[in-house]
Amino acid sequence: MNTIAVRTGKVVYVNDDTLIKVFDEKNWSKSEILNEALNQARIEETGLHIPKIREVGTVDGKWALMMEYIEGTSLADLMRQYPEKFDEYLELFVSLQMEIHTKKAPLLTTLKDKMTRKISQAELNATVRYDLQLKLRELGITSVVCHCDFKPENVLITADGTPYILDWSHTNQGNPNVDAAITYILFNLDGKHEEAEKYLALYCEKTGVEKNLVLKWVPVTAASRSTRCHGEEKAKLLEMAKSVEYLNIA
């Protein structure tokens, strides 16, 4: 097996045409690992281009997910290698997110339920947590598939130009504008502020959604995400969660 990635609590290998993700149980519970496999299986049923789960098992006594290995180049790498094509790649990126938002997966956990739970765990004072919980009550009944970690690193382009969407471990069903707010945050966390604004402008242009309807969800999504981050990234998210600029958007 060839090691292709080492991340916190997991190592990713390739063996022929199979990708093997091995988890360290000090960082991941059995239920979290099995839930990731279940989420990916549910997304397979939508018909989106994603790597298919082949097996859930163990490797050297550690839980592992075995899935189809897709060979290609990430959209993030393409954006870096060919900056003159950034707008073209961003167009594809937003179109893929819009395609995700046309899908339904009614057995997925709802974004509202997950964020309610996460915000209650966030390292914020009680008043801010209460305000964010009130904001969550404004979520309507729209329940489409939301990737919840959609960024150029999670889009793979094969040699024939087919895009595959990776990493469905955080997927939920909910409001697509919340999913867009998460992507907007991810660009900013990566220091790509200009790209974040370009993304938001294009998303709103293509969907017909006003920017405020995305930006209003920045505080709740930042607070929710902060519970699984550390260090500087966590500090930035907590600042976003408390930002008057976003909290005052109706």
Q: Which of 145, 129, 152 is nearest to 178 (CA)?
A: 145
Q: What is the CATH number of the domain that holds 171?
A: 3.90.1200.10
Whether the per-residue pLDDT at 249 is higher than 80: the answer is: no
Both 165 and 59 in one domain: the answer is no
Q: pLDDT at residue 141 above 80?
A: no
pLDDT above 70 covers a percentage of the chain that reads 97
Number of domains the chain contains: 2
Q: What is the pLDDT of residue 248?
A: 64
pLDDT over threshold 70, residue 106? yes
Integer Rg of the chain from CA: 18
Do 127 and 31 lie in one domain? The reply is no
Amino acid 55: pLDDT: 96
- At 244, the pLDDT band (50, 70, 90 cuts) reads low
The H or E element containing residue 116 is helix 111-121
* This model's pTM is above 0.85: yes
Say what the pLDDT of residue 198 is: 98
Same-domain pairing of 231 and 216: yes
For residue 144, how many other CB atoms are within 10 A of its CB?
Answer: 15
DSSP structure class, residue 109:
P
- Residue where one domain finishes, among candidates 16, 51, 68: 68
Q: 32: domain CATH number? A: 3.30.200.20
Query: Domain limits at 176?
Result: 73-247
Among 53, 68, 83, the domain boundary falls at 68
